[in-house]
Amino acid sequence: MTRKLNIGIFGLGYVGLSNAVLLAKKANVTAYDIDSRKISNLKKNISPIKDKEIESYFKKNKNEIGFEVNSPNSFLRKDAIFICVPTDFSEKKNEFDTSKVTSLISKSSKLNKNAIIVIRSTVPIGFTNKINKKYKTSNIIFVPEFLKEGTALKDSLYPSRIVLGGKKQFTRVIGELIDKCAKKKNIKKIFMSETEAEATKLFSNTYLAMRVAFFNELDSFSYLNNLNPKSIINGVSADNRIGNYYNNPSFGYGGYCLPKDTKQLLKNFTIEPKKIIRSIILSNNERKIFISNIIKNQKPKIVGIYRIAMKSNSDNFRDSSIIGVIDLLINDKVKTIIYEPLLKTKNFRKCRVENNFEKFKKRASLIICNRLDKKLHDVRDKVFTRDIYHKN
């Protein structure tokens, strides 16, 4: 009987937590985070993120995963270390902040030199190769994740593909483990260098951002020319080469990945042509300006912002496109209130937070929402949205 691998997972956002749940099927998993409150809740089977499958898992499964606060002992007796910590984009440095990743690699390399280090955090192109050279090793590999917020565990169980970057001696071990734990059969495993895997991740997300920007520009054109955007999008998307996905107009792309990944990919270009990548970022910014101008031109007395979370069934505010619209309205002195039950403060971005829903609906003369909600049905006549298909 093959021995179960001992896996340590560091960082318990939606990537780390979905990895922990996935790998616990075939491995001994201990998951770590610096947030003691998060660890305490996880030990009580309380998920820190909104994900239907993850929340369901914790209701049914007890004590399958060990949860601990980070310590030097975390790295001992592990066959593999999965790094799933955030790498936010630093506007000051104009690149990802990889300090949390490098700190974990440094500790692991000192305390457990034999462990395979699996980077699942998104990093700049060339990062893993440099870090392998720094520690004179080849056991640090890059395995990008392609997960959507809110369905991270489902996407882990049914992955579109498994991309594995690094020395095959190590990537085969991790690829086979992920394959065995997933529910999907005959998953395509694609082996490449660590640098090629990093590029695959950034180009994949930038392509998705490009689709969002493209259909938003289509929607803007339709609005200015009094055309029905749904008819045009249906006609365009019926072409199998284009496809009926990532085509629902919005106030812009946002969230954990697309904004920072497009910026990092642009940074990784040096003398190469990069006009498309740059244009995606510019288009997304212009879309927010376009939306705010439409709102201002209606001269509303009070603009009501319905939810600032990135999408429905989400608790993620980070880089939410509607926040960009809020900032533009504030700059033009448009009186604005916000309805967001997840906010526990009285003010957000210099706007009053009104979490009595009935009062919010009465006070707002115009309600804007990135994604339409059936709760707004009774005030639909004063709702502004570009949501056509009522999906994320």
pLDDT in tens, the chain (392 residues): 478 999 999 999 999 999 999 999 999 999 999 999 999 999 999 999 889 999 999 888 777 999 999 999 999 999 999 999 999 999 999 999 999 999 999 999 999 999 999 999 999 999 999 999 999 999 999 999 999 988 999 999 999 999 999 999 999 999 999 999 999 999 999 999 999 999 999 999 999 999 999 999 999 999 999 999 999 999 999 999 999 999 999 999 998 899 999 999 999 998 788 899 999 999 999 999 999 999 999 999 999 999 997 666 566 677 789 999 999 999 999 999 999 998 889 999 989 999 999 999 999 999 999 999 999 999 999 999 999 998 76
d(CA 176, CA 378): 52
d(CA 210, CA 206): 6
Helices (H), the chain: 14-23, 36-43, 52-60, 99-111, 127-134, 152-157, 168-181, 194-224, 229-237, 258-268, 275-297, 321-331, 357-363
**Active-site residue flag, 257:** yes
CATH of 202-384, one of 2.60.40.10, 3.40.50.720, 3.40.50.2000, 3.40.1360.10: 3.40.50.720
Fold: same for 6-192 and 202-384: yes
Q: Please give the C-alpha separations between residue 190 and each of 18, 127, 135, 164, 193, in angstroms, as whole numbers.
A: 21, 20, 26, 6, 10
Residue 1 pLDDT: 47
Homologous superfamily in CATH for domain 6-192: NAD(P)-binding Rossmann-like Domain (3.40.50.720)
User: What are the structure tokens assigned to 101, written together?
Assistant: 């990743």
- In the chain, where are the structural domains located? 6-192, 202-384
Sequence length of the chain is: 392
Contacts (Cβ under 8 Å, ≥6 apart) of 286: none
The count of other CB atoms within 10 Å of the CB of residue 219 is: 24
The count of other CB atoms within 10 Å of the CB of residue 358 is: 8
Of the listed 84, 181, 257, 369, which one is catalytic?
257
CA 169 to chain centre: 30
